[in-house]
Structure 1
């Protein structure tokens, strides 16, 4: 994939269609809100002999099969008004009904934290996350996170796992994230990420002179000794990063990288692995590397730039409801823009 426009090429026409827009719409009657779902569907002989959990996942493909199985076990998804097991085989004439009220999924508390919202509608939000903001509460970060801010801005996000987040970026990486506002949107976006059809482009600055663009295809897993780090290791999860050189300096290179997969620290690990670690990375670079002969101003700036020079600049996706191909852009954060400017002045190529 090289562009958001081409990223939809692997979809079949109805991959992410909500059922109201599908060929089975005439058999379907539903009303839903962000809080309560009330859905019905009349089966016909085309479903004869199939497992009910597989049928439910085909009928209501905006929800995951595991979620539907859980609703079945909990008595929310009934067949002819009766509770059945997921392995029940259809006779082809059953009435399916789903009645469920979404429960609070997050224990995080809403906090009035400003959000830079690039785009918002009834289904999704696209947010430009600032440097220093943790995405999800965790040990040592119970509040002040993006999740806390989302819960304040849109309280119904509490009904979604991870408050609607489908992906994340590191605390000290700036840039774009998409957040689902409904269960249907969350599952749709998760499927797009799993199919590697979400377009994610990052700007970064690395130490050294990268000659040309290319692809890094190396597996990533948790570091066996330092549990804060990830590493390229056999047996890790597949990780693929495509990249192009955008600007060369004497001792540094500005690069654009496109993620095909989304592993933890993927860009940071991959570029460290090929010998071009990210400028400022506090985890994968042991010390600040100041070029010989650097001016006092340049030296001071490099020593004070204490986060990985990484910005999520573009995000492309298929809208969960309209199926429109959408692409969003976020300008560089102030410190990243200052970094590139001082590199152009103090470290320009010969």
Structure 2
């Protein structure tokens, strides 16, 4: 399955050089543009294109996005719950207790191993380019880009706050209404895993709305405006309402064997068409049982 961009040049772009079209119309970085042109991955009317070539109305410009990149991640026969897929993106629903990417402690059995196997089985010559990551015990939506072009495009959307990211979580204690937490986050020391609300840290903004609450627990819908490491966990713990089961920022729970946090919904515009995309990942059973315990 070949992954490419094919564009018919309109009069608006008459006399524009290929390199400038790639940079300013397709919004590719200088580094990616050089890589594509020098590698022969750009053709103009079926012939290899040079950066200085001048476009004319009716020309056909093709950019071949499969640049033959490799990655040292072994495909493993692990089921993948695909929620959304197009030419550029794969969005999957990550189960609990699964690490996203191989590490020294978790060299195999990761989501990346599973996705590599999925790409292999579906005939897609892609590597795993993670647009987003989740903690091992957090469930829900993880976005993988199928090319450097797609990864770059999604990174720009994230920087421009053009991706709406929603989470469902259950916290300790009663919370009511809705609000915004706008507090900076940083690590108290370079070797600390734990983050804290700290003066001089990176700005972090979390919006929340209480869906259901009791004296013991509250279920919240979260929208992230920024995406700092452990942001939701740090902010809610700072408010005195740590996530149920979060042993790092709160305490373990007899109700659930992990932190009750689920990456629930994503909204963004399609990279190529601009069409609005909205995807959801079903709330996992352990969190459903937890939410049912909250008094109405």
Note if 1:68 corresponds to 2:33: yes
What is the CA distance between 1:177 and its match in structure 2?
A: 1.9
What is the CA distance between 1:59 and its match in structure 2?
A: 4.4
What is the CA distance between 1:134 and its match in structure 2?
A: 0.9
Please say if residues 66 and 126 of structure 2, whose CA atoms lie closer than 8 Å, have aligned partners that are also in contact: no
217 and 141 in structure 1: CA distance in 2 versus 1, 3 angstrom threshold? same
CA distance in 1, matches of 2:129, 2:36: 19
- Structure that is richer in helix per residue: 1
CA distance in 1, matches of 2:213, 2:41: 59
Q: How does 1:242-253 map to 2 (within 5 A)?
A: 242-253=207-218
The structure 2 residue matched to 1:274, chosen from 239, 243, 248, is 239
- Secondary structure at the residue paired with 1:215? strand
CA distance in 2, matches of 1:147, 1:165: 9
Match of 2:290 in 1: 339
Match of 1:228 in 2: 193
The structure 2 residue matched to 1:324, chosen from 275, 279, 283, is 275
CA distance in 1, matches of 2:186, 2:10: 43
The structure 2 residue matched to 1:209, chosen from 157, 161, 174, is 174
TM-score (norm 2): 0.81
Gaps of 5+ in 2: 43-47
What is the CA distance between 1:123 and its match in structure 2?
A: 2.5
CA distance in 1, matches of 2:141, 2:201: 26
178 and 77 in structure 1: CA distance in 2 versus 1, 3 angstrom threshold? closer
23 and 253 in structure 1: CA distance in 2 versus 1, 3 angstrom threshold? farther
What is the CA distance between 1:175 and its match in structure 2?
A: 0.9
Match of 2:220 in 1: 255
What is the CA distance between 1:26 and its match in structure 2?
A: 6.1
What is the CA distance between 1:98 and its match in structure 2?
A: 8.1
Match of 2:74 in 1: 109
CA distance in 1, matches of 2:268, 2:204: 20
CA deviation string 1:304-344 (max 9, x = no partner): 62311111111111111221101111221010011112x23
Match of 1:3 in 2: none
TM-score (norm 1): 0.70
212 and 182 in structure 1: CA distance in 2 versus 1, 3 angstrom threshold? same
Q: How does 1:1-350 map to 2 (within 5 A)?
A: 20=7, 27=14, 43=16, 56-61=22-27, 63-69=28-34, 102-155=67-120, 159-160=126-127, 163-224=128-189, 227-285=192-250, 287-288=251-252, 302-303=253-254, 305-341=256-292, 343-344=293-294, 348=295
- Secondary structure at the residue paired with 1:303? coil
103 and 277 in structure 1: CA distance in 2 versus 1, 3 angstrom threshold? same
Give the number of the structure whose alpha-carbon radius of gyration is greater. 1
Paired residue total = 281
- Secondary structure at the residue paired with 1:113? coil
75 and 145 in structure 1: CA distance in 2 versus 1, 3 angstrom threshold? closer
- Secondary structure at the residue paired with 1:20? strand
